[in-house]
Amino acid sequence: MSAEVLPYTVKPHPVSGLYSGKMGIWLFLASEVMLFGALFSTYIFLRVGDPAWPSHEETHLSIPIGTINTLILITSSITMVMAWASCKMNNIAKAKMWLTVTAGLALAFLVLKFSLEYYPKIQHGNVPSKSTFYAIYFTMTGLHALHIIGGVAVIAYFIGPGAKLWKTDPEYYTNRIECTGLYWHFVDLVWIFLFPVFYLL
């Protein structure tokens, strides 16, 4: 689509001060905040209202695994920034490298989550239908995992077919990477809240 149809794909809109993609991603993230905000509120009400809420020993959540996954996602946020910075420095090869590292870290998170947390719990019968705790745990962490999968798909697109945009309009491509980065930082931030809520408190 040409810049004549969408005139603010690169330059900021005079009213908002944001280019169209950035305005769109902020509006999308606002809706995501409401979604996860409702889930966190639900968790608080369920936990406060249940005197028999399970202890850490009963939930079988591994703090070391949760900590490793937290470090993985924080690192992936850094690599995402490096990808955007590489685009700003007109180095598409480095940008693709950092995007690949980001996607790799995200996949590592998912592998640890599914193989060392979800699978053992399901094997031992700790499924959503077992208790309120497991219902909200699988709902919130599962929704977060879906967001990570979506983020990996977008990153993979910009490493592959979407990289063609760099040849025709590098600044537009850089803006797309920035928008992807904003989404990715939000996904990481959600986990930073999920980790203490489920694993530490």
More confident residue, 201 or 2: 201
CATH of the domain at 73: 1.20.120.80
Residue 10 lies in a domain: no
Contact 179, 25 (CB under 8 A): yes
Domain assignment present for residue 6? The answer is: no
Domain count of the fold of the chain:
1
- Cα pseudo-dihedral 153, 159, 160, 166, rounded to 10: 130
> pTM for this structure?
0.90
Q: How many helices and strands in the chain, by DSSP H and E?
A: 8, 0
Could you tell me if residue 15 is inside a domain? no
CB atoms within 10 A of CB 146: 10
Residue pair 173/87 in contact by the 8 Å Cβ criterion: yes
Instruction: Report if residue 7 sits inside a domain.
Output: no
**Distance set, CA 132 to CA 62, 125, 141, 144, 171 (Å):** 19, 14, 14, 18, 48
Model confidence band, residue 185 (pLDDT cutoffs 50, 70, 90): very high
The single residue listed with the structure tokens 């996904």 is 187
Residue 127 lies in a domain: yes
With 70 as the cut, is the pLDDT of residue 109 above it? yes
Please give the average per-residue pLDDT across 180-198, as a whole number.
Answer: 96
Q: How confident is the model over 51-65, as pLDDT tens digits?
A: 888 887 788 899 999
Contact 186, 25 (CB under 8 A): no
Overall average pLDDT of the 1-29 stretch: 72
Query: Where in the sequence is the domain holding 85, given as residue range(s)?
Result: 20-50+62-200
**Six-digit token pair at 32?**
């995501």
Q: Is 101 a domain residue?
A: yes
Residue 129 CB neighbour total at 10 angstroms: 8
Coil/strand/helix, residue 65: helix
**Amino acid identity, residue 194?**
L
173 vs 7, residue with greater confidence: 173
pLDDT band at 1 (very low <50, low <70, confident <90, very high): very low
Burial 60-72 (b: 16+ CB within 10 A, else e): ebeeeebeebbeb
Please provide the average confidence, as pLDDT, over all residues in the chain: 90
The C-alpha atoms of residue 109 and residue 13 are separated, in whole angstroms, by 37
In a domain, residue 82? The reply is yes
Residue 144 inside a domain? The answer is yes
Look at residue 2 in the predicted model and tell me its pLDDT.
45
Instruction: Answer whether 105's CB lies under 8 Å from 147's CB.
Output: no
